[in-house]
Structure 1
């Protein structure tokens, strides 16, 4: 392929909600593609399922927050102390161990009834609104905000404040773009978290911030690492789930037969959630996860030089025809096969159990509570949050 003809990323960003025939053909045409990034750098885009797993589990690749000097991470959060994507090996394992109890089966189980109560409360509030109503305002945004606030031990009343900062932090910032606003927002968010962690000395509890304070007191983490861990969890634990609920609802509205199946048989909710995650993975507006090989590597017969940019296209792997039958079809009864929506390897999403639980609570009951729920506009009229890495929509108007 000539230099002039290299395809330029972003390619998978959801300008048309679902992958175009051209994208599906590209995925079927091979597992690794040489591309040009928006920064002008050349690199490789991995779309094959097995090839993506190989890259994500290979210690020869640096994680997204540890790029070579020639590259800058896409957002200021990558590369920050305490952000898990900015560490590897034993340091990554040490930090991950500190936050793991907050996402344990015990903690998630304790949150289960609380999440169900939150969803029921939000449904009742939604039902009282004049139609059409914005599901982003009344459901997809507040539910994850309430859940992450409870898990972390921060006041829900602060959600508008930290969400605004989170949006700025998660805005695409390419190598050539300005980063001052994002850096200021990140520092303000870290300052907020620093104060909340210190507050736990007088008001401890069964929450992540208390866990982090204990880790600092025991010498298992520095205060800056604890602040970075908490701020990262706040951003990742909120933003991605908001978008996932919205993309899941859109999937059901765009595939009414599947929505009817789920409405008449709520026992399908587990499979429905996995199909939503497969076809509309977290941050479905994002292209994937960056990795950087320390040495020359060869994957699927493709030679990749050391210090290159390698984008693991998690959304694209869901359409690898070698792994999924008829991958372009949204089918909530699909035979279960593992997807990579939560990544793979050492950096597998630590909050996946909580994210799955939130989605199961929403999709296991929303169509029973609102059997006639539907979009108030045509799908193409929804405005994507294209500048936010995690995706989602500006508004999500609905009728019921």
Structure 2
């Protein structure tokens, strides 16, 4: 147990995974690591073992809340839907789940297409070059989630800044700055929107949550605010970053972009493959605590011990995926866990898939000559964020 290697293994580079992950995955099911904060933990790197940790109720997320557990982030885990166990998690999830079913989300497609076309019209009108991240990849998911929640789109500069500060690892922001964004600025902002929805309810998701709070007493005021913040943040932050990352991968491997231009019918399988190979986070996060002794992959995890998971590493497990390091846009068998697994499987997965389909499909159709305006190695990447993403994606067409 002594002398565990320091984690993270190294600084992230673009969408690459540190080579040490493949080594430890080959060596043993769980690897002991010394986390940046909170001490030592087990790191699960194999697809099957990650799924066990994500799905088995003997691994608790709630046990991490407010505690100095092993983790990468400076801040302690806070109480929200992502850090809850059942039955509390299930109670809150049911309140919003119907808004994110495949059938309900499909109704958004025409509007998402209109948003994508409007954004591209503006981009093309501005000249022959642009930043595909800020001018397109970010604005599509932000506009969609703002309309779903009835959040004023013109406020996105404000709430994006607070969300970006909150969702950092804490190397470039102080804990005070992170906590101010999450526990002061965002609740104050969301509270003002909730007050407006109370006075003038509409046909939107935030109004439905207010009604569930006020008329049905199905969640507390604090839960209402926390849930609304979580929906606003996760409703755009992850998809926006992943969309830009997917574009970076395709444009930095030009032959893949050209194949999709020539064969747009490959888009659905291509998106699943891009989700598989693109790390959502730079490092393992979302610590879980074993609430009783449990064996994972032949390794005993004792009650009270922490386990870290990194789905991106499981998504390259050769036990599950043929040629796992290759980007195969035609890959048929693709049981990736990019959206998680178990009770915390991403609620917004249908919406994310729709937005990726619309955003990528529109670019392939309207800007087939799209290419990077700088060498791939010169594309800037965000640092200190819990979600991996480019800082800008300079392109020309």
| 8 Å CA contact retained: 1:66, 1:87 | no
> Aligned ranges for residues 142-161 of structure 1 at < 5 Å?
142-161=139-158
Q: Which residue of 2 aligns with 1:235?
A: 233
Q: Once the two structures are superposed, what CA deviation does each residue of 1:101-127 show, in whole Å capped at 9, x if it has no partner?
A: 221334312211111111111111111
Tell me: CA distance 1:26–1:71, structure 2 relative to 1, closer, same or farther (3 Å): closer
Tell me: CA distance 1:247–1:16, structure 2 relative to 1, closer, same or farther (3 Å): closer
Q: Which residue of 1 aligns with 2:274?
A: 276
Q: Which residue of 2 aligns with 1:209?
A: 206
Tell me: CA distance 1:265–1:203, structure 2 relative to 1, closer, same or farther (3 Å): farther
- Secondary structure of the corresponding residue to residue 364 of structure 1: helix
Q: Distance in 1 between matches of 2:378 and 2:31?
A: 32
| 8 Å CA contact retained: 1:7, 1:35 | yes
Q: Which residue of 2 aligns with 1:382?
A: 379
Q: Once the two structures are superposed, what CA deviation does each residue of 1:303-345 show, in whole Å capped at 9, x if it has no partner?
A: 2222222111111001100000010000110123211101100
Match of 2:180 among 177, 184, 192: 184
Normalising by structure 1, report the TM-score.
0.92
Q: Once the two structures are superposed, what CA deviation does each residue of 1:49-100 show, in whole Å capped at 9, x if it has no partner?
A: 11111111111111167348442763758423xx212321111111111111
Q: Which residue of 1 aligns with 2:254?
A: 256
Match of 1:394 among 385, 391, 394: 391
Match of 2:51 among 45, 50, 53: 53
- Pairing 1:267–2:265 present: yes
Tell me: CA distance 1:201–1:180, structure 2 relative to 1, closer, same or farther (3 Å): same
- Secondary structure of the corresponding residue to residue 9 of structure 2: coil
Stretches (4+) displaced over 4 A: none
Gaps of 5+ in 1: none
- Secondary structure of the corresponding residue to residue 199 of structure 2: coil
- Pairing 1:341–2:338 present: yes
Between 1:231-240 and 1:32-41, the stretch displaced more is: 32-41
Q: Distance in 2 between matches of 1:54 and 1:72?
A: 19
| 8 Å CA contact retained: 1:255, 1:330 | no
Tell me: CA distance 1:308–1:198, structure 2 relative to 1, closer, same or farther (3 Å): same
| 8 Å CA contact retained: 1:12, 1:286 | no
RMSD of Structure 2 on Structure 1 (CA) = 2.1
Q: What is the Cα deviation at residue 141 of structure 1?
A: 1.2
| 8 Å CA contact retained: 1:271, 1:336 | no
| 8 Å CA contact retained: 2:21, 2:45 | no
| 8 Å CA contact retained: 1:68, 1:292 | no
| 8 Å CA contact retained: 2:62, 2:84 | no
> Aligned ranges for residues 74-93 of structure 1 at < 5 Å?
74=73, 78-80=77-79, 83-93=80-90
For these two proteins, the number of residue pairs brought into alignment is 393
Q: Which residue of 2 aligns with 1:117?
A: 114
Gaps of 5+ in 2: none
Tell me: CA distance 1:167–1:65, structure 2 relative to 1, closer, same or farther (3 Å): farther
Q: What is the Cα deviation at residue 13 of structure 1?
A: 5.8
| 8 Å CA contact retained: 1:266, 1:365 | no
Q: Which residue of 2 aligns with 1:3?
A: 2
Normalising by structure 2, report the TM-score.
0.93
